[in-house]
A and B are shown apart, each in its own frame.
Chain A
Amino acid sequence: MLEIDRIDTFYGESHILRGLSFQVAQGEVVCLLGRNGAGKTTTLLSIMGYVAPRSGSIRLRGRPIHARPAYEIARSGVGFVPQERGIFPSLSVRENLTVFARTFPGARWTLQRVYEVFPRLRERERNLGFQLSGGEQQMLSIARALMLNPDLLLLDEPSEGLAPMIVHEIIQVMRELKKEGLAILLVEQNLHTALAIADRHHVINKGEIMFTGTSAELEADESVKSRYLAV
Chain B
Amino acid sequence: MSVLRLDNLCRSFGSLVVTHNVNLTIAAGERHVVIGPNGAGKTSLINQMGGQLQPSAGRVLLDEVDITGWAPERILHAGIARTFQKNNLFFNLSVLENLRLAVQARRASGFSVLRPAAARVDILARAREVLVQVRMDADADRLVRNLSYGEQRQLEVGMALAGDPTVLLLDEPTSGMSPAETVGMIDLVRSLPSSLSIVMIEHDMNVVFSLADRITVLYYGEVLATGVPAQIQANARVREIYLGASH
9 closest pairs, A vs B, by CB?
A190-B244, A14-B176, A13-B149, A14-B149, A191-B244, A192-B244, A192-B246, A230-B242, A191-B243
User: Can you give 9 contacting A-B residue pairs, CB < 8 Å?
Assistant: A13-B147, A18-B178, A164-B247, A189-B244, A191-B244, A206-B179, A229-B243, A230-B239, A230-B243
Interface residues of A in 199-231 (CB under 8 A from B): 206, 225, 227, 229-231
State whether B38 touches A16 (Cβ < 8 A). no
CB-CB under 8 A from A92, the residues of chain B are none
Q: State whether the Cβ of A12 lies closer than 8 Å to any Cβ in chain B.
A: yes
CA distance A11 to B177 in the complex (A): 12
CB-CB under 8 A from A225, the residues of chain B are 243
Where the two chains meet, the residues of B that have a C-beta atom closer than 8 Å to any C-beta of A are 35, 37-39, 87, 147-149, 152, 172, 175-179, 182, 203-205, 217, 232-233, 235, 238-239, 242-247
Q: State whether the Cβ of A3 lies closer than 8 Å to any Cβ in chain B.
A: no
CB-CB under 8 A from B217, the residues of chain A are 231
CA distance A167 to B247 in the complex (A): 8
Query: Would you call the interface of chain B mostly helix, strand, loop, or mixed?
Result: loop
User: A35 is contacted by which of B39, B148, B203, B245 (Cβ under 8 Å)?
Assistant: B203
Q: State whether the Cβ of A95 lies closer than 8 Å to any Cβ in chain B.
A: no
CA distance A229 to B178 in the complex (A): 19
Distance (whole angstroms) from the CB of A102 to the closest CB of chain B: 32
User: B205 is contacted by which of A157, A189, A231 (Cβ under 8 Å)?
Assistant: A231
Q: State whether the Cβ of A105 lies closer than 8 Å to any Cβ in chain B.
A: no
Q: A14-B176, A160-B39 are in contact. Are A37 and B247 (CB under 8 A)?
A: no
State whether B148 touches A13 (Cβ < 8 A). yes
Distance (whole angstroms) from the CB of B174 to the closest CB of chain A: 9
Q: State whether the Cβ of A62 lies closer than 8 Å to any Cβ in chain B.
A: no
A residues contacting the other copy or chain, number (CB 8 A) = 30
Q: A35-B203, A192-B246 are in contact. Are A15 and B37 (CB under 8 A)?
A: no
Q: State whether the Cβ of A98 lies closer than 8 Å to any Cβ in chain B.
A: no
State whether A229 touches B242 (Cβ < 8 A). yes
CA distance A227 to B243 in the complex (A): 11
Closest residue of A by beta carbon distance from B181: A15
Q: A168-B247, A229-B242, A231-B238 are in contact. Are A189 and B176 (CB under 8 A)?
A: no
State whether A37 touches B175 (Cβ < 8 A). yes
State whether B152 touches A13 (Cβ < 8 A). yes
CA distance A171 to B246 in the complex (A): 13
State whether B39 touches A161 (Cβ < 8 A). yes
Closest residue of A by beta carbon distance from B91: A12
Q: State whether the Cβ of A23 lies closer than 8 Å to any Cβ in chain B.
A: no
CA distance A18 to B242 in the complex (A): 24
State whether B247 touches A15 (Cβ < 8 A). no
CB-CB under 8 A from A160, the residues of chain B are 38-39
State whether B178 touches A15 (Cβ < 8 A). yes
CB-CB under 8 A from A37, the residues of chain B are 172, 175-176, 203
CA distance A44 to B35 in the complex (A): 25
CB-CB under 8 A from B247, the residues of chain A are 164, 167-168, 171, 192-193, 196
CB-CB under 8 A from B87, the residues of chain A are 12
CA distance A229 to B37 in the complex (A): 11
CB-CB under 8 A from B244, the residues of chain A are 189-194
Distance (whole angstroms) from the CB of B245 to the closest CB of chain A: 6
State whether B242 touches A15 (Cβ < 8 A). no
State whether A36 touches B38 (Cβ < 8 A). yes
Distance (whole angstroms) from the CB of A224 to the closest CB of chain B: 11
